[in-house]
Amino acid sequence: MSNCKTHKTCINEALKKAETICNEKGVKLTKLRQTVLKLIWKSHNYVKAYDLLDELKKIDDSAKPPTIYRSLDFLIENGFIHKIQSLNAYVGCSHPQEHKECYFLICDSCQNIEECCSEQINKVVISTTGKNHFELNQVTLEISGTCQDCTN
């Protein structure tokens, strides 16, 4: 995924989905939010907030930390991006509609992130938390390592 051959499609799909979902929810994908989403979707790599801010400044000189963090908040709230907790970084969500308990494969070498859903992992998490009588709220599963492209 490091060099995605069909990345224009990825971006277009992501933007289209975001628009659709916003319309359904009655929230607004403003120009700014769309711009930030595009910047995040520049690749499948994770991005840091202040790098994003630097990029945004090239477009809008007046951008400041709250500019970027507000957009990030909106995009996270609506499921269009995810925060990678172990890296304080952000990445586009590849399937905002059907997103459930996903996990992330994070390549230490190329910063590529693959977002996966595993019904199996989901089940195991639910069953083991159940055994602990723990009422589940949020699952953070982030796996770092080396992706296939970088291993070869």
| Residue ranges that bind Zn ion, judged by CB under 5 A | 4, 7, 10, 107, 109-110, 112, 147, 150
Q: Give burial (CB, 10 Å; 0-12/13-18/19+) of 90.
A: buried
Report residue 101 as tokens. Answer: 């308990």
What span, in angstroms and rounded, lies between the C-alpha atoms of 66 and 64? 6
- φ, ψ of residue 142 in degrees (nearest 5): -125, 120
For residue 151, give the 3-state DSSP assignment.
helix
- 32 is in the binding site of which of DNA, Zn ion, a second copy, none (Cβ under 5 to 8 A by kind)? DNA
How many CB atoms are located within 10 Å of the residue 128 CB? 10
Give the nearest distance from C-beta 34 to Zn ion in angstroms: 18
**Stretch in the footprint of a second copy (CB under 8 A) among 14-22, 48-56, 65-73, 131-139:** 131-139
The binder of DNA chosen from 54, 60, 108, 149 (CB under 7 A): 60
The binder of DNA chosen from 16, 48, 100, 123 (CB under 7 A): 48
Q: Strands 81-84 and 102-107, how do they pair?
A: unpaired
CB of 2 closer than 8 Å to CB of 147: yes
Number of residues interacting with DNA: please give it, by CB under 7 A: 23
Give the nearest distance from C-beta 59 to DNA in angstroms: 11
- 7 is in the binding site of which of a second copy, DNA, Zn ion, none (Cβ under 5 to 8 A by kind)? Zn ion
Give the nearest distance from C-beta 116 to a second copy in angstroms: 7
The binder of DNA chosen from 49, 110, 117, 125 (CB under 7 A): 49
